[in-house]
């Protein structure tokens, strides 16, 4: 409660600001609604009441006319005697104020008591006697009316609870009914699907394994069941077909692998023949290309690899110590113009050369090739029993003879003595070819040529027994292999073509 001085101060500040919110914000009291009531009272009476309760009651009496009070009480009596409904429909007053109007009107109180007493008599006569006893016992009208109003209010609350409960029970029953209908529908669909699956199983048994339409599943062996499952797995789930045929998942996949293994048995002699014709140098990738390119057989690389493993078609690779031709610094140093860039966009732009040794029981054989960086093809090569100047010079002159007038390739080599002798340098200068050399002890500087040597030795040399083979016979075998390497051996990097086939596909001069 606020004192008279506080209320007068609030009125004075409001008259200065003319704003309820600013006044409340400055003083910290009261709320806007209370301040509005104080201002209305001040404007009407010219002063603020001294006692809050007495003045407040007078204020509410003076705020609404007798006609408005009578209308509100009449509406309450005629429309269900509900305070909340009356306030909501008329828009005035508050619930507490309407209760005060009802309690302060003797005529209305007696009417309400009698009316409610007669209504209660229909359900319980004792209530009527109690009400009149209460009246005769001089219990205040206020308490009697409050009891009746509270009881009516409680009856409203109970009715709304019963209504919500009935609505909830109705929704629950409806949901249960819908759920039962949905479950029945799903069960019918499942039965229909199982019937269709059984029909298709009998149909596939008749078409694929020549069984009667009425065959019993128990009479089918696991292989036959696997065939039926493979035929139906795209239309039905594997789990459902396994259930119909009464076969476990592990048994199905075991028999499936057996069928796949037998399915590709026809490839065994074909793959074996290709492997032998390639000097036993083709792995599964190249054999896969041959099958697709020449025989139009499309299978997975994994199938080719599995068959080669089962048939023991393995490419043997053995590494041995490489031949070293370095004899020291015999001539001035030559810069490394290739600088490990072995890529070339045209033929006869970059050549690589080196010497490698083949040691067999009959003796040693040396190979000196010229490798073109464009496609890895061999420009020329020479084979001999001694790594001398004649071996490399013959190879170089043979390669130069295949050049056009405007072609001046860079010839890259290591620091071997063969490429620092006067005759080699003279041939290079006379034909205006550019020299390039690796650093001392840096084999990666000529890795493309070193890779070529490793490839041919792994494919045709290390996996052979050369006992009883003469030097001349070995030179013939090596020369035939190099011809095949250049003209027929396919390279994955060239799209499954040999170097010569690749140049021919580009329309280049061979």
In this prediction, what percent of the chain has a pLDDT beyond 90? Answer: 25
Look at 77-81, 268-272, 326-330, 484-488 and tell me which has the smallest mean pLDDT.
326-330
Angle 454-459-461 from CA coordinates, rounded to 5°: 80
CA 415 to chain centre: 55
- Which of 472 and 332 is assigned the larger pLDDT? 472
- Give the Cα separation of 59 and 38 in Å (integer): 10
pLDDT at res. 147: 62
Which range, 66-80, 140-154, 186-200, 458-472, is most confident? 458-472
Which range, 212-216, 226-230, 282-286, 336-340, is most confident? 282-286
pLDDT at res. 105: 67
β-pair partners for 368: 382
Q: Give residue-wise pLDDT tens across range 33-73.
A: 888 888 888 888 777 776 544 444 454 445 778 888 888 88
Query: pTM (2 decimals)?
Result: 0.43
In this prediction, what percent of the chain has a pLDDT beyond 70? Answer: 75
Alpha-carbon torsion (54, 55, 60, 65), positive or negative: positive
Q: Token pair of 485, please? A: 């390497």
β-pair partners for 367: 356, 383
- Give the Cα separation of 115 and 145 in Å (integer): 12
pLDDT at res. 51: 52
Q: What is the DSSP letter of 386?
A: S
Look at 3-12, 24-33, 123-132, 320-329 and tell me which has the smallest mean pLDDT.
123-132
Angle 304-305-311 from CA coordinates, rounded to 5°: 90
Q: Where are the alpha helices (DSSP H) in 105-140?
A: 106-123, 125-136
pLDDT at res. 271: 94
Coil, helix or strand for 490?
coil
Burial 181-211, CB ≥16 within 10 A → b, else e: eeeeeeeeeeeeeeeebeebbbebbeeebeb
Does 142 score more than 50 pLDDT? no
Task: Give the number of residues written for the chain.
Answer: 510
Give the pLDDT band of residue 77 (cuts 50, 70, 90). confident
Give the pLDDT band of residue 305 (cuts 50, 70, 90). very high
- Tokens 């490793």 sit at which residue? 454
pLDDT at res. 119: 47
Give the pLDDT band of residue 302 (cuts 50, 70, 90). very high
pLDDT at res. 54: 42
Alpha-carbon torsion (340, 341, 347, 348), positive or negative: negative
Does 263 score more than 60 pLDDT? yes
CB 209 within 8 A of CB 224: yes
Does 447 score more than 70 pLDDT? yes
Give the pLDDT band of residue 133 (cuts 50, 70, 90). very low
Q: What is the bridge-based pairing of β-strands 410-413 and 434-437? A: parallel
CA 10 to chain centre: 68
Question: Please, is 328 exposed, middle or buried when counting C-beta atoms within 10 Å of its C-beta (0-12, 13-18, 19+)?
Answer: exposed
- Give the Cα separation of 446 and 374 in Å (integer): 15
Coil, helix or strand for 383?
strand
- Give the Cα separation of 494 and 491 in Å (integer): 5
CB 205 within 8 A of CB 229: no
Q: Give residue-wise pLDDT tens across range 405-420.
A: 888 999 999 888 888 8
């Amino acid at each position: 409660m606020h004192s008279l001085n506080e209320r007068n101060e609030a009125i004075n500040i409001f008259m200065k600001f003319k704003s309820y919110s600013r006044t409340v914000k400055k003083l910290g009291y009261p709320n806007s609604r209370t301040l509005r009531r104080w201002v209305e009272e001040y404007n009407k009476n010219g002063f603020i009441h001294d006692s809050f309760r007495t003045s407040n009651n007078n204020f509410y009496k003076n705020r609404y006319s007798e006609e408005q009070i009578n209308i509100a009480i009449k509406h309450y009596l005629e429309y269900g005697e509900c305070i909340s409904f009356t306030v909501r429909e008329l828009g005035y007053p508050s619930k507490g104020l309407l209760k005060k109007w009802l309690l302060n009107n003797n005529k209305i109180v007696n009417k309400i008591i009698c009316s409610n007493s007669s209504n209660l008599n229909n359900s319980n006569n004792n209530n009527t006697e109690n009400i009149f006893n209460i009246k005769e016992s001089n219990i205040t009208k206020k308490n009697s009316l409050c009891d009746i109003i509270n009881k009516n209010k409680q009856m409203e609350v109970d009715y709304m609870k019963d209504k919500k409960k009935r609505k909830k029970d109705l929704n629950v029953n409806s949901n249960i009914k819908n759920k039962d209908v949905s479950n029945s529908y799903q069960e019918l669909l499942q039965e229909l699907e199982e019937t269709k699956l059984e029909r298709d199983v009998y149909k596939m048994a008749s078409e694929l394994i020549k069984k009667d339409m009425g065959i019993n599943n128990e009479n089918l062996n696991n292989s036959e069941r696997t065939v039926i499952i493979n035929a139906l797995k795209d239309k039905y789930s594997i789990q459902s077909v396994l259930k119909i045929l009464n076969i476990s998942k592990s048994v199905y996949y075991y028999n499936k692998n057996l069928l796949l293994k037998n399915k590709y048995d026809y490839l065994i002699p074909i793959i074996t023949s290709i492997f032998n014709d390639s000097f036993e140098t083709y792995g599964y990738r190249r054999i896969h290309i041959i099958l697709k390119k020449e025989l139009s057989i499309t299978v997975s690389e994994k199938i080719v690899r599995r068959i080669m493993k089962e048939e023991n078609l393995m490419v043997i690779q053995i590494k041995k110590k490489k031949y070293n031709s370095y004899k020291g610094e015999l001539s001035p140093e030559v810069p490394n113009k290739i600088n490990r860039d072995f890529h070339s966009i045209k033929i006869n732009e970059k050549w690589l050369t080196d010497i490698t040794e083949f040691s067999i029981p009959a003796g040693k054989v040396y190979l000196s090739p010229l490798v073109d960086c464009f496609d890895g093809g061999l420009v020329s090569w020479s084979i001999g029993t001694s790594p001398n100047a004649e071996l490399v010079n013959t190879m170089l002159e043979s390669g130069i003879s295949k050049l056009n007038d405007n072609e001046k390739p860079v010839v890259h080599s290591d620091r071997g003595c063969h490429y620092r002798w006067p005759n080699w340098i003279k041939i290079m200068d006379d034909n205006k070819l550019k020299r390039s050399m690796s650093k001392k002890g840096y084999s990666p500087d000529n890795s493309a040529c070193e890779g070529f040597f490793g490839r041919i030795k792994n494919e045709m040399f290390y996996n052979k027994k050369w006992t009883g083979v003469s030097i001349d016979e070995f030179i013939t075998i090596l020369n035939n292999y190099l011809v095949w390497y250049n003209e027929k051996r396919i390279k994955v990097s060239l799209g499954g073509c040999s170097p010569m086939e690749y140049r021919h596909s580009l329309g280049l001069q061979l």
